[in-house]
Amino acid sequence: MLRAGNRFGILSIVVLAILLLVILPNVLDPFRLNLVSKYLVFAVVGVGIVLVWGYAGILSLGQGIFFGLGGYLMAMFLKLEASAPELPDFMIWSSTEVLPWWWVPYHSLAVTLVSIVVLPTALAFVLSYAVFRKRVSGVYFAIITLALALTMTVLLVGQQGYTGGANGITDFRTLAGMSIISDEGKRTLYFVQVLMLLAVMSVATLIVRSRVGKILIAIRDREDRVRFSGYDTALFKAFIFTVGALFASIGGALYSVQVGLITPTLVGAVASIELVIYVAVGGRMSIIGAVYGALLVGWAKSMISENFPTIWLFFIGGLAETNRAPFDMAEAEQELTGGFHTEYSGMRFALFFLAEYANMIVVSSVATTLFLGGWLRPFPNVAALSFLGIIPSWMWFLLKTFVFLYIFLWVRATLPRYRYDQLMRLGWKVLIPVAIANVVVTGIVMVLF
């Protein structure tokens, strides 16, 4: 008989499969379904991070390296197929007259698929085993992987004639003759991605429930004891890191096919950290949680970007205006030793804090009024949610204000502090030009349309 935990795990996967294979394809339009496909690509990578970070305790901030490798390898095949018999367009623009020898094998889909599996895993194993043999772990390993991700980004951008530079490799139309830009083609790719995700989850579950999974947990908790018991801990850690790299490479290949491009921004530190965030939201010890985390964060990014395009400028300005992290830097010499912390005490000290939090409440109240409907309940036009009307309007206003206050506190607990010169550079060179461009573009659109 199955244990209760096993039954719950199987039931969760079945529910997820029904959601992805039956409900979403029949409810969402082609555009939204394509967005879900992109989220599922990141979920494939997230499952690997669960194994590496959750079960082995190895925090890797460089999974974008293997995601990018898989993506670029698949992109090479797709670009050659789209450009045949000519050279890829970015090579022509860079005055490259002959196809590089290492591009030639990627005329073959079979070679491409083998490369997607072999090359990233070989690189991951050799690299990680060498590092783990030196007993490098924890934050030091995270820094190494982060540095490698940044290095690979610079390498890809610098090789314009071979990798497309900062623009990456784009404009894919077919995969082995099948259209990947039509709605029908994207729908087919969606089901392929779902099946691949379920296969990856099944493999991850088998690893976790095997003896290897138990040893990995033991290594995470007390590596020295496992080593003294005669196990080669470096080999086990390199193995699970390689599995995570394989999943990331598969995810990158699927991304190139589904989205139709691959760029260096998907390889660097920001993309790698974002992948870790998906897992953190879903729970780093939960395989199925990585999928829901990717879906939730991806959906939130899309919805906020579509419905609140200006809230980002307001939010960043609110952080700076209220002197909250990462903008709570020291401005004068006496503040370097604590500022009012050393100059005042008692009620005078309390008044400074009351003023800071009052400022946060004001900014949160303004944001609630401008962007979240103020005192109105959520979705007032949806009849099925009419029961929410029993909650008083003033309570809705307070709840929405508390959401913004929570984000203020959350950001302070997460982000490091800016230096003053960095804030000035961000404000004058980035935020002000973006704000002016937003005003100009909005004005032009309103006049023309």
Q: Is residue 336 predicted with pLDDT exceeding 60?
A: no
Q: Is residue 206 predicted with pLDDT exceeding 50?
A: yes
- Report how far apart the first and last C-alpha atoms of the chain are (Å, whole number): 66
Quote the pLDDT of residue 211: 92
Quote the pLDDT of residue 253: 94
CA–CA gap between residue 255 and residue 347 (Å, rounded): 57
**Residue 2: exposed, middle, or buried by beta-carbon count in 10 A (0-12, 13-18, 19+)?**
exposed
Determine the residue type at 223. E
HEC string of 232-280 equals CHHHHHHHHHHHHHHHHHHHHHHHHHHHCEECHHHCCHHHHHHHHHHHH
Q: Is residue 436 predicted with pLDDT exceeding 60?
A: yes
Chain centroid to Cα 288, Å, comes to 16
CA–CA gap between residue 192 and residue 189 (Å, rounded): 5
Determine which of 5-19, 23-37, 362-376 has the lowest per-residue pLDDT on average: 5-19
Could you tell me where the beta strands, DSSP code E, fall in 255-358? 261-262
Quote the pLDDT of residue 418: 64
Q: Is residue 216 predicted with pLDDT exceeding 90?
A: yes
C-alpha distance from residue 27 to each of 33, 51, 73, 306 (Å): 9, 32, 33, 20
Q: Which residue has the tokens 């895993």?
A: 121
**Phi/psi at 57 (nearest 5 deg)?**
70, 25
Residues composing the chain: 449
Residues 293-300 have a mean pLDDT of 88
Q: List the structure tokens of 338.
A: 């604590």
Q: Which residues pair with 169 in a beta bridge?
A: 262
Per-residue confidence at 415, pLDDT binned at 50, 70, 90? low
Determine the residue type at 207. I
DSSP letter string over 176-212?
Answer: TTEESSSHHHHHHHHHHHHHHHHHHHHHHHHHHHSHH
**Residue 12 carries which DSSP code?**
H
A 10 A CB-CB count for 363 gives: 22
Quote the pLDDT of residue 67: 95
Strands 169-170 and 174-175 turn out to be: unpaired
Determine which of 221-230, 237-246, 308-317 has the lowest per-residue pLDDT on average: 308-317
- 3-class DSSP state for residue 175? strand
Residues 405-421 have a mean pLDDT of 73
Phi-psi region of 440 (alpha: psi -120 to 50; beta: other; left: phi over 0): alpha
Quote the pLDDT of residue 1: 41
pLDDT, mean over the chain? 85
CA dihedral 402, 414, 280, 243 (to 10 degrees): 170
Quote the pLDDT of residue 150: 85
Q: Which residues pair with 174 in a beta bridge?
A: 179
CA–CA gap between residue 293 and residue 46 (Å, rounded): 9
Quote the pLDDT of residue 138: 82
Query: Contact, 121 vs 245, CB < 8 A?
Result: yes
Residues 277-294 have a mean pLDDT of 89
Determine the residue type at 291. V
The string of pLDDT tens digits covering residues 56-105 is: 999 898 899 999 999 999 999 999 988 877 888 888 888 888 888 989 99
Q: List the structure tokens of 377.
A: 């309940």
Q: Is residue 339 predicted with pLDDT exceeding 60?
A: no
Quote the pLDDT of residue 342: 61
Q: Is residue 301 predicted with pLDDT exceeding 70?
A: yes
